[in-house]
Structure 1
């Protein structure tokens, strides 16, 4: 199953989409979500979701610059990568807290709909544990075979995706702030 997660800077999960097969691309899951419809309609100023290279650039979804040409663009990419690390850490923590989500120690042998319900329950329990500051058993976490998550080898370009000039302008304004900070 392909699960979409959105989290805040603390790692609290704020949005979950758990209903698409693993063959469904990340961008398609987002595009068909209520979150995308909401953000397409509201255009929040100064707030963005971050996505990796598997997502198209939107006015509300910032992605890395594929071929940075300036120090400001490289700095934007570095900050983008740092901020997106929170999501990677949240996913790793979910797998450590709920070993049934970790392929290395087991897999859910249920129908896809039941797997989605279990995943959603794990996300809710994760937020409760975070809110109550429940520590993860460090001995168990250190024994975990999970290393730092490598970024998947993603396509450089998404086929048939038109990037709006408005979305490019939004990202250019953000990059300009990095340029201004360098001078």
Structure 2
């Protein structure tokens, strides 16, 4: 059989054979940050391609270009740059190197996206839930038999690594590290239903300071105390037991009290799980190198993104629960709160 390369120089024939065996290279459009497989998109940005496109449309009116310069970042680039920072928590110059842009450009993009997400806070963080209050109560009751429950409350510390100036001592926690103290409530689906800033130190927890001052600063508590919702929330012994905030017995003496504590713990762990998912999804919350005011904006942005991801059923990171921070237990509970706790125990756990 005659060779198909008769009359063709040997070196050219070899190149033709090699070229026919070599797989054609496909170049990714670097101007399109979504031109990647779904697994890589989630690893980098914590959202699927559809989720990122949703965010682009959502924040587009707030972060769109005010200039027609050819080298200005697109909305998609700004969103992906910000998501990459939230997901990794790395240095801005590292994010810039990965996206082939300068550190200043990264900082400007993140600022715009954070501001946009803060603007959307009240649309995506709703107390007690996006679902009707009765639906939330029924879900918690089916979970542990705890009645009239519309949420769980607790605080978490977000470490701060930036110089804090003259107020540095105000942000020192028990282990001589610096952090900002954030209080949140959640529903049974791990959706954040409120976020409040109670101060940097553990002594600023509700129940330690005068309650009228604290309740005025806490959106969820303020709504319950003003009788907007017929229900209660549960917390740990770092809070005082009140008519609308139920805490466990410090030293249960009867089987009924022990059963009450177990049911309350089963419901309260939802807020611990929420913190775990939030910090696993956005590693920047494990240590922010910004001032407290800026840190509060980034945390709020991450909370909004967490709720969006939950609503859209984005992939949930695996979370391993760890022991809670040690808190100073409240020894003086309000008499009305103690009465409500005893009534719930007698009626549902007796």
| TM-based fold match above 0.5 | yes
Q: Which moved more, 1:32-41 or 1:163-172?
A: 32-41
Q: 1:7 aligns with which of 169, 186, 198?
A: 186
* Alignment of structure 1 residues 28-177 onto 2, 5 Å: 28=209, 30-31=214-215, 32-42=217-227, 44-45=229-230, 47-102=231-286, 107-136=287-316, 141=318, 147-158=320-331, 161=332, 163-177=333-347
Change (3 A) 1:16 1:156: closer
The CA distance in 1 between the partners of 2:237 and 2:195, in whole Å, is 20
Q: Which runs of 4+ in 1 moved over 6 A?
A: none
Change (3 A) 1:112 1:5: same
Report the structure number with the largest CA radius of gyration. 2
Change (3 A) 1:174 1:44: farther
Structure 1 gap segments, 5+ residues each: none
Change (3 A) 1:24 1:166: closer
Report if the CA contact (8 A) 2:239-2:329 is conserved: no
Change (3 A) 1:23 1:51: closer
Q: TM-score, normalised by structure 2?
A: 0.44
The CA distance in 2 between the partners of 1:13 and 1:112, in whole Å, is 21
Change (3 A) 1:156 1:34: closer
Report if the CA contact (8 A) 2:185-2:220 is conserved: no
Change (3 A) 1:30 1:128: farther
Change (3 A) 1:122 1:170: same
Q: Which moved more, 1:35-44 or 1:49-58?
A: 35-44
Change (3 A) 1:44 1:165: farther
Count of matched residue pairs: 165
Report if the CA contact (8 A) 1:43-1:60 is conserved: no
Which of the pair has the greater relative contact order for Cα pairs under 8 Å at 6+ separation? 1
Change (3 A) 1:76 1:87: same
Aligned to 1:22: 201
RMSD: 2.1
1:2 is paired with a residue whose SS is strand
Q: Deviations over 1:20-47 (max 9, x none)?
A: 22355321595332333332221744x2
CA drift of 1:156 comes to 3.5
Change (3 A) 1:177 1:165: same
Report if the CA contact (8 A) 1:17-1:33 is conserved: yes
Q: Deviations over 1:50-104 (max 9, x none)?
A: 11110001100000100111111000000111101111011000000000012xx
Report if the CA contact (8 A) 1:19-1:116 is conserved: no
